[in-house]
Chain A
């Protein structure tokens, strides 16, 4: 019953988020601010994780297909497809669910328990829309760039690890990452990331918005936001993969 209650209330919350808007000028200002807070501040962690992720994928692929009949360029090809299809969108989104999701839930949750949201409601402002919609739009706009950065850095990380350890020559790796390239894979990955951005921001916003009590409950809401948005990312990853690649 609790599950159904949250599904219903989440649907109503999302409707409220996209309800009566605030002034356009204020909305765009907030979106720019949120792009900085949620997106640009995440570039560092995305770069670090993507570099090592690409490096590990390359080394693991190399050790697992260490057969004379398989050409070395297959390492680059496998690393490229793994990074583009799965790791850059899903893993980066899972990281963002932790970093951005907890940030959103705790920020809005604190505003709830300190009555700042009541101030907005008394003024007649659509508080859910004012607080959450700019975050949704900001992450939807910025996440494709983060994913593209992750793809590039991941592939570079793979090249660095492959060439420095000698498991794959540089020219073979570069040939591999160009071999049988399917541009739609990038579109597929970006579509997924946009859906994940929506899930991260609305789920975290929902848990923050309905926080009650004090700091302990805000902490709990923040944890729930991360756990549930991570599970939803994995679920929607499965659904979108079936829909877009089948």
Chain B
């Protein structure tokens, strides 16, 4: 479980996160949604420690990540996996080497064992026979799957996904969403997905947090969204005529 308590974060005097608190439970897909510039990426990056918060606490299973020394932070970080918006695969490494990278860095396993684990992770994300290709030689959807395989290579307790569907066609986006949800259930991970993709919100949103202008405006599930009378949330979710029509019919 990850708990964020009263997170405040500013850049150059401009407050981006204003007292945001949330609890993310394991075994379910937790979504952070909001418009571009609402602060959701800053929130996600604050959770993983890429941004230091101005005040507030981030607790990983009773361990205060914000106050612990670097040495202990490294241990917590090794329990994290992260999928970035642009996949962020290492260009100079092959697909297999990318997936093996965290194993090479943090385990004492023999090469054969590391390769076996990398191949297992690649199979888990339905990728085979691409081990020796470089990231530039595979499609965007495949790159995302490789990035997921790399993120789960060390069997993380926490999985973070920053806009995993960005740049993907709707069909591939659903495949990625379903894969994230399956893996979350299978390994009982605490998964946090940052998205503004409505298919993801409605498809895998078991626990959703809506951030508006740096504040948490709403919290609930994908079922609750249709019942909510929160104006900002409705303006965001039902921005298109299509979604408005669906809501009216319901």
Closest to A29 in B: B104
Contact partners of B75 in chain A: CB under 8 A: 124
Interchain CB contact (< 8 A) of B73 among A110, A115, A124? A124
Give CA–CA (A122, B154) in the complex, Å. 13
Contact partners of B86 in chain A: CB under 8 A: 114-115
Q: Is B88 engaged at the interface, CB distance under 8 Å to the other chain? A: yes
1/0 per residue, CB under 8 A from A, across B64-84: the answer is 000000000111011010101
Q: Is the interface of A mostly helix, strand, loop or mixed?
A: helix
**Given A124-B77, A124-B78; A119-B105 close (CB under 8 Å):** no
Interface residues in B, total, Cβ within 8 A: 23
Give CA–CA (A146, B78) in the complex, Å. 41
**Across the interface, do A119 and B104 meet the contact criterion of CB distance under 8 Å?**
no
Q: Is B102 engaged at the interface, CB distance under 8 Å to the other chain? A: yes
Interchain CB contact (< 8 A) of B105 among A26, A114, A118, A121? A26
Give CA–CA (A115, B86) in the complex, Å. 8
**Across the interface, do A23 and B105 meet the contact criterion of CB distance under 8 Å?**
yes
Closest to A19 in B: B70
Give the B-binding residues of A (Cβ under 8 A).
22-23, 26, 110-111, 114-116, 118-119, 121-125
Q: Give 25 pairs: A residue, B residue, CB < 8 Å, sorted on A.
A: A110-B91, A114-B88, A115-B84, A116-B88, A116-B89, A116-B90, A116-B91, A118-B45, A118-B50, A118-B82, A118-B84, A119-B90, A121-B49, A122-B48, A122-B77, A122-B82, A123-B78, A123-B80, A123-B102, A123-B105, A123-B106, A124-B73, A124-B77, A124-B78, A125-B105
The 4 closest A-B pairs by CB, nearest first: A124-B77, A124-B74, A115-B88, A115-B84
Give the A-binding residues of B (Cβ under 8 A).
45, 48-50, 73-75, 77-78, 80, 82, 84-86, 88-91, 102, 104-106, 160
